[in-house]
Every structure is written in C-alpha cells, then in structure tokens.
Amino acid sequence: MNYDHHYHAGNAADCIKHLALSLTLQALIRKDTPLAYIDTHAGAGRYTLSAQGEHLQGVARLWADRRSLPHAGAWLKIISNENSDGVLRYYPGSPVLAAALLRPADRMVLCEQQPEVATRLRKAMGKRAHTSIIGEDGYRALFGLIPPPEKRGLILIDPPFERRDEWERLADTLIRAYQRWPQGVYLVWYPVKIRGTITRLRQALRERLPAFACELLQMPEEGREQLFGSGLIMVNPPWGLREALTAALTELGPLLCAPQSGGLWSLHCQGWPGPEKS
C-alpha cells in the first residue's frame, strides 16, 4: 500500500470527514437506545503528526481558532483532549474519535486489514468494552455485520482509493449494504478529483438508494485533475444533520481553502430521493 496515514493524518480531507463523523454520532446518541458503529477502513486509530505532514494544510489551520468554531466544537474538543498541553502533536483517527463520542454500551466494530496497523489500532483502543477489531477486508466483512442486533447504527466507509476498481467497489458495497440494511445510517468519504468518476458514482447510487451529498472544494475546479476537495455521501442522515453539517463546513471552508486558490472555496450540497417506487 502506498497510503501513509501518518503523513496524511489531520489533512483537510480528514478534517471534513471527521467533522461529519462527529456530527453524525452526536445526532445518533440523542436517542437512549444503544447503537453499533462499524468502520470498514479503520486505520491505526491515533497518529503522531510529522513535522512536514499534511496536517499543516488541515487541522493546524484550525488549531488557533479551535475555541471560536462553535459548529465544529465537539470534534475540536476531542483533538484538544489528545493534546492537553496545547501543542498539536497527536491526531485522533475515526476509531478514537468515535470512542470519545459513543456511550459505554454502544458497540464498535473496526475493520483493519493490515496486521501492523491493526496492532497499533488495538493499542489505541485500549480496553474499551464492546469493541471488536477484525483483520479482514472491510468491504467483505461488512455483510456479516449487518443488520446489527442493536437495529440502529452508523457505517463509515472511508477507503484509501488506491485500487483501480475502488469506485466501482464502493458503489456496489453501498448499494448491497443498503439492500441488506435499509434502516442503517451510512457515511462515505470520497476525493473530489476527477469529475466523471464522481458523476458515475452518484448516478449509480441515485438509481438505487436515497442519499444526501456535500462537496467542500478548496479551490476552483476549472477542469483540473488533482485533488481539490472532499465529498461526503450520507444515507439516512439523522434529523438535523444536513443543516448542522452545512453550517460546520461553511465555518471551516475559509480556513481550509488552498493557498493557490486566492481565498476561493465553495460548498455544494444535493440530495436525491432514490428510485421511484412502482
């Protein structure tokens, strides 16, 4: 694998996906009943930030203003707790972030296929109860985990997008998972890089399931084929999540825009109802 999350940890993409994750979990735990959290590409859980890492274009830009960004407050508070002396050295990945928000009775299932990364993940999660770490391909493992006995919960799908067939596999997995568990909440991150690929993904999903999508672009698109933003797809978003996410991303947009953008950034959100029922 070429993807080195220690270098990428805390970058703008992480900020966007982890902000969305925190807002989704905050919405879900408003109900008293337990839930299941399933992470198909969990990673190491916690990262030491490198001196020249991509966090300099991500969470580091938010750090000085962390107490004055109310819509991102809960997520930034968790990062602050990981850096109690006020110096930004550590970044919590999705498993550690989720563990900080979930209640003790909520169950976590974390999929991490790389043995050395899974070892670090076990260390990061410590002795948290009701937590399973599965050393398997998350796409395949997912279908043995849903529907969960709790009957409610969140699935995070955040692949590294290294495989040539990643987009097709993502679409197929999400469609089949929704067919198996249509009541579940699904959160997907994808890179905004090649518009045609994204259009095909959305079209495939539009014909099979209802969803809501947001893209935060850190620079004007202008037909370029480089990473210029992050996209999120949410299936069955909890009540109020759309508005909360839009407000939070609007707050972060000016801080995360690329230096070469001249301060230009944009947020695009769109929902669709799914296939028409005959």
The C-alpha atoms of residue 224 and residue 260 are separated, in whole angstroms, by 13
Q: Mapping DSSP to helix (H, G, I), strand (E, B) and coil, where does residue 120 land?
A: helix
Global model pTM greater than 0.85: yes
Length of the chain: 278
User: So which residues are the catalytic ones?
Assistant: 158
What's the half-sphere exposure (Cβ side, CA atoms, 13 Å) at 247?
11
> How far, rounded to the nearest angstrom, does the alpha carbon of residue 188 sit from its chain's CA centroid?
6
Q: Please give the CATH topology (third level) of the domain spanning 5-272.
A: Rossmann fold (3.40.50)
CA distance 65 to 164: 39
Taking only the tens of pLDDT, the chain with its 278 residues reads 344 567 899 999 999 999 999 999 999 999 999 999 999 999 999 999 988 899 999 999 999 999 999 999 999 999 999 999 999 999 999 999 999 999 999 999 999 999 999 999 999 999 999 999 999 999 999 999 999 999 999 999 999 999 999 999 999 999 999 999 999 999 999 999 989 999 999 999 998 999 999 999 998 887 667 788 999 999 999 999 999 999 999 999 999 998 877 889 999 999 999 877 65
Neighbours of 38 (CB within 10 A): 26
At 37, list the tokens. Answer: 């959290």
